[in-house]
Structure 1
Amino acid sequence: MDKPTMLTYIYSEQAKMLSILDQYPLNIDKALNKIPKDVNKILVLATGSSYNAALSSKYYFEKITNIQMEIQEPYNYSHYEKIDKHIDAVIGISQSGQSTATIEALKKVKQDHPVFSIGVTSLPKTEISEETDTILDILIGREHVGYVTLGFTATVLNMMLLAIRIAAVNHVITSEQELHEIQDLKKLALNIDNVINKTESFIKQHIDSLTKATQFTSIAYGPSVGTCSEMATKFSEVVRVPSQGFELEAFMHGPYLEVNKDHYIFFIETNSQKSIYEKELSLKTYEKKYVSNLYTINFREETSEDEKQLDLINIEDEYKVPFISSTVFQLLAWYISKSKGIDLSKLIFTDFSTAVHNKTVPQKYV
C-alpha cells in the first residue's frame, strides 16, 4: 500500500464522519460517564489545530447546551492564568494525546481545582489519558501525516456530538430534537464528497493565480471564525507564505490597511443575521476596489455568476457550517503547495520536537 498523503485523509473524511455518527451515542456516553449534572461552564485547553477545532465548535456547543465554553491556550494558561473557580469541567484536546502544554495545563487544573475532565484524542492510550477522568476517542486512529485534516474534521464533529448528548441527557433538548440534530449532521457528512468535487473543480480553474500568491487572508463571522483560524494554520504549514484568518469586525480595525493589489482574500459567507451578512457584503464590495484576487466560499442559497465565488451547499444552520467548511481550505492548501513544487513527503525541521519539547515524544510522520 502506498504511503498516505494529506489528500488521502481528506478523501476519507466522508466515510469516517459517517462511521463516527453511526457510533453515536455509545462512544460519547463513555466520555460522559460520571460527568456532573449541573455543569454551567466548561474550560477547553487546546493549541494549534485542536484550538481551531474547539473554536469551530464553540458556538454550536454553547447554543445547544446552554453551557459557557471558555477556550484557552494551555501553555499560557499554565504559566499566567488564574484558575476560574466557577469551572465545572475541563476538556483537553490533543489529537496525538501527547501535546506537552495541554497535559501540563490539565495537571494544573487537577491540582488547584479538581473537576471532571475529558481528554479528546485519536490515541486513547497516550499520556493525556493519565490526566483526565475519561477519554473521548475521535475514532480515526493515528493520522500518519503531520498536517492534520481528517483529525481536525473529526474533532469538530465529536465536539458537536458531545454537545448534543450533554443537552439530551440534561433535558435541554428532547429526544426528537436530539435525533433531528444527528440527522442534520449526517446530511452534511453525506455532502463532504460533493464539497470536495466542487472545490477541486474551482481550484483547477484558479490554480495558476493561487500559486502566485505571496499572502493569504480569510475573513468570516460567528462560528466560521474557527475555520479562518484553521485556514491560517494549514496554509502556514504547507503553502508556507504569510497567511492570516480574521473575524469580520477585527479585520476592519487595522488589518485592512495592509491590503494591496497582490493580496489574496477569502470571504466565508453563511446564513447569519441579516445585519451581519450586510456588513460582510459592504466590506467585500469595498475590498474589491483594491484586490483583484478576492474569493468567496458560499454556504448560502443565493449563488453568483462571479467566477471567483465557490457556491457549495446551502446550510441553513450557520452553527453547523464549521463541520465541513475547513475541508475547502484543506484542499486549497494541498493543491497550492503541490503547484508550488513543495514536496510534503520531505519532512522539514525533524528535530523540532526534541529541541523545544512541544510533544512528550517526537512524532513520526510520513
Structure 2
Amino acid sequence: MNIEDYMKETPVKMKEIIQGADELFAEVRKEKFSRIVVTGSGTSYHSAAQTKKLMQHFLGIYVDVFYPFQIDKETFLDDASKTLLIGISQGGSSYSTYHAMKTGKEAGCSIASMAGTEGALIDEISDYILTVRCGEETAGAKTKGFYCTKLNLTLFALQLAKSYGRISAEDYAAEITQLEAYADHFLAIYEQSLQWVSQNRENLAAAKDIRVVGTKEIYGDTLESALKLLETMRIPVTGYEFEEFVHGIYNAVNEDSTIIILDTGEEGRVETLINVLSDWTDHIYVIGKNGRETPKDLKADFLNHPFYKTYEYIIPVQLVCAYVPQLKGIDPSTPKDKDFHRKLGSKKLDR
C-alpha cells in the first residue's frame, strides 16, 4: 500500500481507537501521576509536541516532551515515583526510545509504551502497554500513524482526566463527539486538498527548498509537515513557528524559495508576511480557512477546533508528499535506503 491508501484508512482507524479507549487505558487510569514525560523521535516526537498543551489542559499537571537523546539522569532530579514516562515508536523498534525509557525506569518512573504494533521492543520495559492500534503502515513516510498517535495521547489524557475528576462523564462524551466529527470530516478535507495538489503539483515538484511556517498551536504539525516533505521530496525543508520565522529565518528567502504557510486564523500578521515575502519569491502557498483568490492557496472547509484542528491542516501537505515526488521519479512510499537502520544499528529489525 502507498501513502494515500493509508491516509484513506485514517478515519476508520480513528473511530476504532476511540471505541477501544475504555479497554486500552483501564489499568493506567487507576494510577495518579504528578508529571508526564513523553519521548520519541521524528513523527513520534511531533505527535507528542502537538498534543502536549491538550494533555496539560485536561490533566492539570506538567507534561514534558523530549527527544530520546535529551533524557538522562538529570531529567528526573526530584522524586520520580509519581512520574509516568511514555515512550512512542510506531514501529516499536527504536533503540534510542527504548534506552530513554530504561533511564526513566532506573530513575523510578512508571513506564508506558505506545507502539503501532503488538509485541514491540519498547513494550518489553513497560508497565503499561498502550498500543496505537492503527494497523500496519509499511510506507517509509508515516501518515496514518501520526494522526492515530496524537489521538492515542489525547484519549489517554481524557481518560485520566475523567478518572481524576478533572472532567465529568458528560465532558468526556462531548470531547469524543468532537473527535468523531473530525474523523467524519477527514475525507472531505482530503478531497479538497487533492484538488489543490493537482493544480499545483508541477510547480511544487520544481521546488529547490521549502520553508513551512505554522502558528504556535499547530507547531507539532508544522515540524511534521517539514519532515514528511523532506523525506519524500528529498530536498532541504525546514519548519518554523510563525514568530520564530520572523525572528531571522526570513533572511534566507530568495527567488528560489518555496514557502508553505499553515494559516489557522490565529495569527493576524499572516497577510502582512505574505506581502513582504512576495517581493522576494513568487512561490508562496497558503493552507487555511481563508486565503487569497489564487490557485496557490487552499481555502478548505476546516472545522478549526482549538485542539482538534491538528487532524486537518496537515492533510494537504501529506498529499503533496504522496503525489508530487512521483513527478521527480521518486517513490515516496519507499525509503531511499531500505537497509539504512540495519547499517546504523538504530532499530531492532527482524532478520
Q: TM-score, normalised by structure 1?
A: 0.90
Q: What do you get for the CA RMSD once the two structures are aligned?
A: 1.9
In the alignment, structure 1 residue 262 sits paired with structure 2 residue 256: yes
CA distance 1:328–1:68, change in 2 (3 Å): farther
1:242 and 1:145 map into 2 onto residues whose CA distance is: 21
User: 328-337 or 340-349, which moves further after superposition?
Assistant: 340-349
Who is 1:49 aligned against? 43
2:323 partner letter: Y
1:223 partner letter: E
1:13 to 10, 13, 18: 10
In the alignment, structure 1 residue 280 sits paired with structure 2 residue 274: no
Describe the SS at the equivalent of 1:47: coil
In the alignment, structure 1 residue 342 sits paired with structure 2 residue 330: yes
Describe the SS at the equivalent of 2:26: helix
**Residue 362 (structure 1) shift:** 5.6
Whether the 8 Å contact between 2:85 and 2:112 is mirrored in structure 1 is yes
Task: Please list, as runs of the form range in 1=range in 2, the aligned pairs for 1:1-366 lying within 5 A after superposition.
Answer: 4-30=1-27, 32-35=28-31, 37=32, 39-78=33-72, 81-85=74-78, 88-111=83-106, 113-272=107-266, 277-298=267-288, 300=289, 302=290, 304-344=292-332, 347-361=335-349
2:350 and 2:340 map into 1 onto residues whose CA distance is: 8
Whether the 8 Å contact between 1:33 and 1:134 is mirrored in structure 2 is no
Whether the 8 Å contact between 2:34 and 2:61 is mirrored in structure 1 is yes
**Residue 315 (structure 1) shift:** 2.7
1:128 partner letter: I
2:124 and 2:302 map into 1 onto residues whose CA distance is: 42
Describe the SS at the equivalent of 1:137: coil
2:279 and 2:198 map into 1 onto residues whose CA distance is: 25
**Residue 236 (structure 1) shift:** 1.3
1:354 partner letter: R
Describe the SS at the equivalent of 1:89: strand
Describe the SS at the equivalent of 2:211: strand
User: 92-101 or 316-325, which moves further after superposition?
Assistant: 316-325
Whether the 8 Å contact between 1:97 and 1:121 is mirrored in structure 2 is yes
CA distance 1:34–1:171, change in 2 (3 Å): closer
Whether the 8 Å contact between 1:41 and 1:86 is mirrored in structure 2 is no
Whether the 8 Å contact between 2:141 and 2:333 is mirrored in structure 1 is no
Describe the SS at the equivalent of 2:212: strand
**How many pairs were matched up?**
349
**Residue 160 (structure 1) shift:** 1.1
**Residue 163 (structure 1) shift:** 1.3
1:307 and 1:41 map into 2 onto residues whose CA distance is: 46
Describe the SS at the equivalent of 2:112: strand
**Residue 91 (structure 1) shift:** 0.7
2:350 and 2:60 map into 1 onto residues whose CA distance is: 39
Describe the SS at the equivalent of 1:70: strand
Describe the SS at the equivalent of 1:8: helix
**Residue 131 (structure 1) shift:** 1.1
**Residue 34 (structure 1) shift:** 4.2
1:99 partner letter: S
Q: TM-score, normalised by structure 2?
A: 0.93
2:344 and 2:102 map into 1 onto residues whose CA distance is: 20
1:232 and 1:86 map into 2 onto residues whose CA distance is: 37
1:118 and 1:350 map into 2 onto residues whose CA distance is: 29
2:279 partner letter: K
**Residue 345 (structure 1) shift:** 5.8
* Structure 2 gaps, min length 5: none
What is the percentage of aligned positions where both structures have the same residue?
26
1:125 partner letter: G
1:306 and 1:344 map into 2 onto residues whose CA distance is: 27
**Residue 124 (structure 1) shift:** 2.7
* Structure 1 gaps, min length 5: none
Q: 1:22-67: CA deviations, max 9, x gaps?
A: 223222335x2542x2x23211111111001111111222222222
1:341 and 1:184 map into 2 onto residues whose CA distance is: 40
**Residue 251 (structure 1) shift:** 0.9
